[in-house]
Amino acid sequence: MKKFSRRDFVASLPPLALMSCYLEKADLILYNADILTVNPNQPSAEAIAISGDKIIGVGSNDDIMNLSSAYTKKINVGGKIITPGFIDAHSHPAGAGRSHLRNVDCDLRSIEEIKNAIFERSKKTPKGEWISGFKYDDTKTKEKRYINNIDLDEVSPDHPVIITHRGGHTAYVNSLALKIAGIDEKTPDPKGGNIERDPETGNLNGRLLETATYLVEKFIPNKFTRADYQAGVKLISNMLSRSGITSVTDAGTSVKSLQSFEDSYNSGELKTRVYCMIRDYAFDEVNDSGKKTGYGDEWVKIGALKLVCDGSISERTARLSEPYIGRPDYYGIIINNEDEIFEQAIKAHLNDWQIAVHANGDVGIDITLKVFERLQKEKKRIDPRFRIEHCTIINKSLVQRIKELEVIPNPFSTYVYFHGEKMKEYGKERLENMFAVKSFLDAGVPVTQTSDYPPGPFEPMMAIQSSVTRTDYTGEVWGPSQKISVEEALKVATINGAYASYEENIKGSLEIGKLADLVILGQDPRKIDPMKIIDIPIERTMVGGKWSYES
């Protein structure tokens, strides 16, 4: 028989019983607040009571003060907004943390600046060792062209160099890196990838798309120690907490990354709860150890098996049914076809794992839905909560199939604002069906808020503004039919994210019995100019009844 702690027992009681059980047990009360609970049965409140890591009361100031004792700490919030902690339902915190720890940050506004950064790193790096850069974005540099091997050869001829696009699907390497990988003009494109050549000369230009990046990456030694992995988690966890994120899904966890989250938690350094999607190459090791979706606790938990169908939106490799604007013969890239994804997924599905597939374009989404349909024919599961990661370009038929299969779409939430300059390659008409949060909400589909960081910035206030205004940083509007309200955006950013990880009963809204994960905002996003939501300060972040960030 399963044993329950007193706290587990109390969490199962109805609200009135909870109030009486905890009448003198509140450790902390936040009062004089404007609380947006995201609980449809009690959408607003003035005060909240917390005991340990759980919420034990939500209501009026007078009612909640009845839960205090001589030992209760009370904080007057001064009318500020309190929301549930934000949930980033698709990001890459472990890898991003290590990149911030060790790699050259190429989020710069000119190729010359990037070259200078690589040159400075080369002076500190022993000859022959790799130099890695990340967060390069071709449309953000003033030259408005791709960085190439000639650029990198000029500043680092004696070090192999690889710079990844912030989208994560393209690499830019120098000539020495190409030589080490054995890539020359005669090397064929790998399946699901492209080794780009200069269109005029036919010479290699150092740009590798999708699976072609693996040809070089396999030669880069992993010099990160277990301590480095943990340090990366600590660094990124602090960054996320400062932005109000209390839970994150790591959408590509290796065994070492999984260990790093556990190490960080055990050391008291983890400030964000993590739902760990396991990549295909790590699946057998994790599954054979007896672990699967749901294994773990409310801090570190095994999530879905993560698979990939097509390419990237920010790098313009997503597989579309209609060609990209200005490139009449280019439709994007399929990395894994229907049969391949099915074979990768069937073992996990039969073993009751959640399945998540990266699919951006409408062609990729169609393929992914066909896989989910086949999986359910093999074994009809009651609540598989299939996920489509990104699920960017949709149509009415795809939305209907998503609803019928009860699939959870996880589109980019900051892309309209941050990557607006790229949207012209998709076109105004197509943008009415991209990052289609309103279409999903109207269909009753539990769409989530995601950043995919590093590909998109992770700040929830940017995500909310982007979803509410559908306006980029230059003022250009993309897909106005997909605008949603602030209240809808909050729901997407909280309870829907919890649902995507089977955790809607323990977090995602502020109600009795749930985890005390919350954020105090400096302004009310409902009452200010929507174009200024991005500037709302995060004053405090709480995870499990403890402040993880205080401004």
Contacts for 277 with CB less than 8 Å, ≥ 6 apart: 249, 250, 251, 252, 253, 303, 304, 305, 306, 356
Q: Does domain 93-217 have CATH number 3.40.50.300?
A: no
pTM metric for this prediction: 0.95
Distance CA 213, CA 208 (A): 5
Gyration radius of the chain's alpha carbons = 24
Longest dimension (CA), the chain: 79
The full set of domain ranges for the chain reads 93-217, 309-484
Q: Spell out the per-residue pLDDT of the chain, length 551, in tens.
A: 334 343 444 444 444 434 434 454 899 999 999 999 999 999 999 999 999 999 999 999 999 999 999 999 999 999 999 999 999 999 999 999 999 999 999 999 999 999 999 999 999 999 999 999 999 999 999 999 999 999 999 999 999 999 999 999 999 999 999 999 999 999 999 999 999 999 899 999 999 999 999 999 999 999 999 999 999 999 999 999 999 999 999 999 999 999 999 999 999 999 999 999 999 999 999 999 999 999 999 999 999 999 999 999 999 999 999 999 999 999 999 999 999 999 999 999 999 999 999 999 999 999 999 999 999 999 999 999 999 999 999 999 999 999 999 999 999 999 999 999 999 999 999 999 999 999 999 999 999 999 999 999 999 999 999 999 999 999 999 999 999 999 999 999 999 999 999 999 999 999 999 999 999 999 999 999 999 999 999 999 999 999 999 99
Contacts for 449 with CB less than 8 Å, ≥ 6 apart: 86, 87, 88, 89, 413, 460, 463, 467, 489, 492, 493, 496, 497
> Tokens standing for 319?
């597989």
Per-residue confidence (pLDDT) for residue 15, from 0 to 100: 45
Report yes or no: 390 and 358 within 8 Å, Cβ to Cβ: yes
DSSP secondary structure letters along 351-388: TT--EEEEE-SHHHHHHHHHHHHHHHHHS--S----EE
Distance CA 157, CA 149 (A): 10
Distance CA 38, CA 537 (A): 20
Per-residue confidence (pLDDT) for residue 23, from 0 to 100: 53
Q: What's the CATH number for 309-484?
A: 3.20.20.140
Task: Give ∠ CA 327-418-408 in degrees, rounded to 5.
Answer: 85
